[in-house]
Structure 1
Amino acid sequence: MSILEILKVIIIGIVEGITEWLPISSTGHIILVEQLFMLNAGEEFKAMFEVVIQLGAILAVVVLYFKKLNPFSKGINTKKMYLTIELWKKIIVACIPAAMLGLLIDKWVEAHLRNGFVISMALIIYGILFIMIENSNKNRVYSIRSIHSIDYQTALFIGFFQVLALIPGTSRSGATIIGGMILGATRSVSAEFSFFLSIPIMFGASLLKLVKFGFHYTAVEVLYLIIGMSVAFFVSLFSISFLLNWVKKNDFKFFGYYRIGLGIIIVVWYLVSSLMSMK
């Protein structure tokens, strides 16, 4: 067991916990961080590590919203139970497009789109979109001001926006938040619905990868997985609360500028790396 490797695991867990929920692309950040703090492990373990820290992040949503998402909570009245069940139906409807397309093109995306150029372009393009949407919506009165006001059609359309997140660097939360705002939902409703969509879509994706890679690791590797998952979970609790408080007083333009800056950094990083490798 190495203290240095544990520090790397903690750093990657922190990055996952922050970037999974903010609309700035966890994939882009994880790739950068892995280049800087490369784990001394095989590719299969690294792939499993990404799955496990994502599960830690998802559990934060489950814990924070357990009462709100549980239709059978103690003391809940019939109306609230009905609304919660309806919300889950809408969440499932919204997840259908990404789930179906993800199963079809996941391997192709991993083989052809998980590279610095695609990630940087996605970061920059969606960063510009955030700024444009916020500028055009400056004085807009949003029609959807409650999570329960989202109808099935709107949920499905938000689900189509979630499909865009299959492109590395897009950001699943970023795509669904943009979709929600375009369709008339407030920033806070768009962000909250994005959190809820993460539960089935990311649990499903994680389960598929768990089946693919199996679970046969050394005691030290299991410890690394537990540490990374725990760090991602606790940092996610903070990140989700931060974003919900942020959107009450601010717009998303800051994240747009941040994405553009990060996209440029990644482009430069890969250009310099390519030039260095040619020497």
Structure 2
Amino acid sequence: MIVTEWLILAVIQGVTEFLPISSSAHLIIPSEVLGWQDQGVVFDVAVHFGTLLAIIFYFSNDLKQLSQGCIIAMRDKSINSEARLVLAIIMATIPVALVGVLAHSLIEAYLRSAWVIAATTIGFGVLLWCSDAYAQSYVKQGKESPKLGWRVACWVGLAQVFALIPGTSRSGVTMTAGLFLGLSRDCAARFSFLLAIPVIILASLLQCYKLVTSAVSIDLAMLGIATFVAFISALLCIHLFLKWIQKIGFMPFVLYRFLLGFILIALLLTHG
């Protein structure tokens, strides 16, 4: 893979990891449609580590408060709001972790194709559209958003399993589930971002296992650059997304998914 392709893909990973438009779709498309060399597991580890650093850095104060709250909860043998949120994150992570381990090879063999990406890009774009419209009607009716408890964590966690299918978008499907459950745009986005931390860690551990059991060569300088590029682009993306989401809503991302999906279908039909 040439340097330019590495840098472009690192930016794509950083920008799309936390937007509801599927990072896996955007990383597969260049190899499927443009004929770029597959980035490989080494690159995946580097850019995922960059995005992980970005979200930990951005939510460092939140993570500190959650840690302190859990320590207090264990000391007092009680459940406070911080411990409740941590338990919700753990509960929502369990389904995707189990299915990811058990079905990883099947997903890699049968679902990493441009046709699957085109279908899921459009299909889950429709669901995101419907969920945002439902959430806004929920607000207009003056209903109170539910708390991040067991029910929300359970349903969002089950929805997150679909993120294993390329083109679905982990952030997209968790935000969609959150909106359908009555969460506000900001709350659904923040919960989705916090859920990304354990999921990216688990995915990176799996990729690291594949890396140590392979005999691929490693360009440490390029990996460092790719990690840094993914970190900066992801950090900017998170900041701007949370700043603008209440104003612009999810419709721009829905339209982008439709456009991307239909363009991909046209390219696939054109190139046979």
Q: TM-score, normalised by structure 1?
A: 0.86
Question: What is residue 145 of structure 2 aligned with on the other side?
Answer: 144
Q: CA deviation at 1:135?
A: 3.1
Question: What is residue 277 of structure 1 aligned with on the other side?
Answer: none
Unpaired segments of 5 or more residues in structure 2?
74-78
Q: CA deviation at 1:187?
A: 0.7
Q: CA deviation at 1:37?
A: 7.5
Name the aligned partner's letter for residue 48 of structure 2: Q
User: Are residue 273 (structure 1) and residue 271 (structure 2) matched?
Assistant: yes
8 Å CA contact retained: 1:128, 1:257: no
SS in 1 for 2:2: helix
User: Within 5 A, what are the aligned runs for 1:202-241?
Assistant: 202-214=200-212, 218=217, 221-241=219-239
Question: What is residue 50 of structure 1 aligned with on the other side?
Answer: 44
User: Within 5 A, what are the aligned runs for 1:106-255?
Assistant: 106-141=104-139, 143-144=144-145, 149-214=147-212, 218=217, 221-255=219-253
Q: CA RMSD in A?
A: 2.5
Number of aligned residue pairs: give it: 262
Question: What is residue 29 of structure 1 aligned with on the other side?
Answer: 26
CA distance in 2, matches of 1:60, 1:114: 26
Q: CA deviation at 1:259?
A: 0.2
Question: What is residue 16 of structure 1 aligned with on the other side?
Answer: 13
Question: What is residue 70 of structure 1 aligned with on the other side?
Answer: 64
CA distance in 2, matches of 1:84, 1:252: 28
8 Å CA contact retained: 1:20, 1:173: yes
CA distance in 1, matches of 2:153, 2:266: 38
Unpaired segments of 5 or more residues in structure 1?
275-279
Q: TM-score, normalised by structure 2?
A: 0.88
8 Å CA contact retained: 1:113, 1:167: yes
CA distance in 1, matches of 2:157, 2:137: 26
Q: CA deviation at 1:19?
A: 0.5
Question: What is residue 94 of structure 1 aligned with on the other side?
Answer: 92
Name the aligned partner's letter for residue 184 of structure 2: T
8 Å CA contact retained: 2:96, 2:158: yes
SS in 2 for 1:138: helix
8 Å CA contact retained: 1:68, 1:84: no
Sort the Cα spacing of 1:223 and 1:240 in 2 relative to 1 into closer, same or farther, 3 A.
same
Sort the Cα spacing of 1:72 and 1:174 in 2 relative to 1 into closer, same or farther, 3 A.
closer
8 Å CA contact retained: 1:26, 1:171: yes
Q: CA deviation at 1:38?
A: 2.4
Name the aligned partner's letter for residue 14 of structure 1: V
CA distance in 2, matches of 1:126, 1:19: 15
Q: CA deviation at 1:248?
A: 1.9
